[in-house]
């Protein structure tokens, strides 16, 4: 079928809207007509990493309407309004225990630029395109997805729901699934992009008592306060560790880094209270030095997370509920 996509031909070239051929959905696949997509840092980082001359279609926060579903697909039918998230196999040991973002086939299913059998879902003027990004490649009018990465929420506003497929899920999931702060906790969020803002909103929804946003943009810090931060710190001018200790009576019980900047990660660890926990999501510099005497002596935990440990089918409907005026949040965990 002919459709259109925003195609990248290299790190330094702009996206161009081109006619492409999308393959027919296989028995286990779903053809989705996209009506909205978010854009995530990973789209641009992957664009920058692919060599010039490889036509590629990115996008992994798609939402739209099901046009057709293969014979083996259950629970999804034409006309369903769906949100697309990361792909997973659904059957490996980690998927079977609800840890889908650590699927044993995560790389092959999300970042290979092909289906697992090596075939492309999109073909353009130069032949097969690097596609199937996160099991979708949503910078297009249509996408081939699978039952494993399609979420069917009730009454979703697709424009609102699309970014929940990755960025918002990652920020909110890191709070509700990984860090799990309570009303008496203090959470510091480093970075006020979409992921950080989602973490702040999730913390506010859970009723976390102290939520500190640390960022570099005054406008973003103002927005952070509007969406739930109880305090904001300008990382460029303030003694961040000292101020956090002041605001949290000696140290934060929880911290979340969305920057990947080594000095920020180091500050985040230092600003923790004894037995505090820090979660990392940003793939910045590969190596960061931290004071292990501080970690060991105070029983601090640092851990990484992919997609906020979220199972999209659990978390995305919950986030949409939270977005609905008048609904109240309750603590939750990712199950299957």
| Nearest residue to 248 (alpha-carbon basis) of 335, 148, 181, 296 | 181
Task: Check if the beta carbon of residue 11 is closer than 8 Å to that of residue 49.
Answer: yes
Nearer to Zn ion, 1 or 283 (CB): 283
Nearer to Zn ion, 8 or 232 (CB): 8
Task: Check if the beta carbon of residue 40 is closer than 8 Å to that of residue 195.
Answer: no
User: Which region among 50-58, 154-162, 164-172, 317-325 touches Zn ion (by CB under 5 A)?
Assistant: 164-172
Nearer to Zn ion, 103 or 213 (CB): 103
Token duo for residue 177: 């699934």
* b/e map 62-97, b = 16+ CB within 10 Å: bbbebebbbeebeebeeebbbbbbbbbbbebebbee
Q: Is 166 in the site for Zn ion (CB under 5 A)?
A: yes
Nearer to Zn ion, 89 or 214 (CB): 89
Task: Please state the closest distance from residue 335 (CB atom) to Zn ion, in A.
Answer: 15
User: Which region among 42-50, 172-180, 197-205, 254-262 touches Zn ion (by CB under 5 A)?
Assistant: 42-50
Q: Is 248 in the site for Zn ion (CB under 5 A)?
A: no
Task: Please state the closest distance from residue 246 (CB atom) to Zn ion, in A.
Answer: 34
Q: Is 282 in the site for Zn ion (CB under 5 A)?
A: no
Task: Please state the closest distance from residue 138 (CB atom) to Zn ion, in A.
Answer: 11
Task: Please state the closest distance from residue 327 (CB atom) to Zn ion, in A.
Answer: 26
Q: Is 278 in the site for Zn ion (CB under 5 A)?
A: no
Residue 71, helix vs strand vs coil:
coil
Q: Is 89 in the site for Zn ion (CB under 5 A)?
A: yes
Nearer to Zn ion, 18 or 43 (CB): 43
Beta-carbon contacts of 92 under 8 Å, excluding residues fewer than 6 positions away, are 103, 104, 105
The secondary structure of residue 8, as a DSSP letter, is B
Task: Please state the closest distance from residue 205 (CB atom) to Zn ion, in A.
Answer: 21
Helix axis angle, 262-270 relative to 240-247, nearest 10°? Answer: 30
Task: Please state the closest distance from residue 134 (CB atom) to Zn ion, in A.
Answer: 7
Q: Is 108 in the site for Zn ion (CB under 5 A)?
A: no
Task: Please state the closest distance from residue 257 (CB atom) to Zn ion, in A.
Answer: 16
- Residue 99: exposure state from Cβ atoms within 10 A (0-12, 13-18, ≥19): middle
Residue 244, helix vs strand vs coil:
helix
Residues touching Zn ion: how many (CB under 5 A)?
8
Beta-carbon contacts of 249 under 8 Å, excluding residues fewer than 6 positions away, are none
Q: Is 103 in the site for Zn ion (CB under 5 A)?
A: yes
- Of the residues 37, 42, 258, 334, which one makes contact with Zn ion according to CB under 5 A: 42
Task: Please state the closest distance from residue 86 (CB atom) to Zn ion, in A.
Answer: 8
Q: Is 172 in the site for Zn ion (CB under 5 A)?
A: no
Tell me the C-alpha distance between 281 and 304, whole Å: 6
Q: Is 54 in the site for Zn ion (CB under 5 A)?
A: no
Q: Is 281 in the site for Zn ion (CB under 5 A)?
A: no
- Of the residues 5, 20, 30, 95, which one makes contact with Zn ion according to CB under 5 A: 95
H/E element, 40: none
H/E element, 69: strand 62-69
User: Which region among 16-24, 101-109, 141-149, 209-217 touches Zn ion (by CB under 5 A)?
Assistant: 101-109
| Nearest residue to 177 (alpha-carbon basis) of 15, 66, 335 | 335
Nearer to Zn ion, 191 or 235 (CB): 191
Q: Is 82 in the site for Zn ion (CB under 5 A)?
A: no
Pairing of strands 150-151, 81-84: antiparallel
Residues that bind Zn ion (CB under 5 A): 40, 42, 88-89, 92, 95, 103, 166
């Amino acid at each position: 079928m002919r459709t259109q996509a925003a195609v990248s031909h290299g790190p330094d070239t702009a996206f161009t809207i081109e006619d492409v051929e999308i393959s027919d959905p296989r028995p286990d696949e779903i053809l989705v007509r996209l009506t909205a997509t978010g854009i995530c840092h990973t789209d641009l980082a992957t664009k920058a990493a692919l060599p010039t001359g490889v036509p590629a279609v990115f996008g992994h926060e798609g939402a739209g309407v099901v046009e057709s579903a293969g014979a083996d697909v259950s629970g999804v039918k034409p006309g369903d309004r769906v949100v697309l998230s990361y792909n997973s196999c659904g059957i490996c040991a980690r998927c079977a225990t609800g840890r889908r973002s650590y699927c044993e086939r995560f790389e092959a299913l999300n970042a290979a630029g092909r289906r697992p059998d090596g075939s492309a879902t999109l073909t353009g003027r130069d032949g097969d395109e690097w596609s199937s990004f996160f099991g979708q490649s949503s910078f297009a009018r249509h996408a081939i997805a699978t039952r494993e990465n399609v979420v069917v929420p009730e009454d979703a506003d697709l424009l609102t729901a699309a970014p929940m497929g990755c960025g918002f899920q990652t920020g909110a999931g890191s709070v509700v699934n990984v860090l799990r702060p309570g009303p008496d906790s203090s959470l510091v969020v480093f970075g006020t992009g979409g992921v950080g803002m989602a973490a702040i909103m999730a913390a506010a929804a859970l009723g976390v008592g102290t939520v500190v946003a640390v960022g570099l943009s005054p406008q973003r810090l103002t927005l952070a306060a509007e969406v739930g931060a109880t305090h904001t710190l300008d990382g460029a001018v303030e003694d961040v560790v000292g101020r956090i200790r002041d605001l949290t009576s000696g140290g934060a019980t929880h911290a979340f880094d969305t920057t990947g900047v080594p000095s920020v990660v180091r500050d985040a660890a230092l600003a923790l209270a004894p037995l505090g926990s820090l979660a990392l999501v940003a793939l910045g510099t590969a190596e960061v030095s931290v004071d292990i005497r501080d970690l060991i002596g105070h029983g601090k935990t640092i851990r990484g997370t992919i997609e906020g440990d979220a199972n999209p089918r659990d978390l995305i409907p919950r986030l949409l509920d939270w977005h609905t005026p008048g609904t109240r949040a309750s603590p939750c965990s990712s199950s299957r």
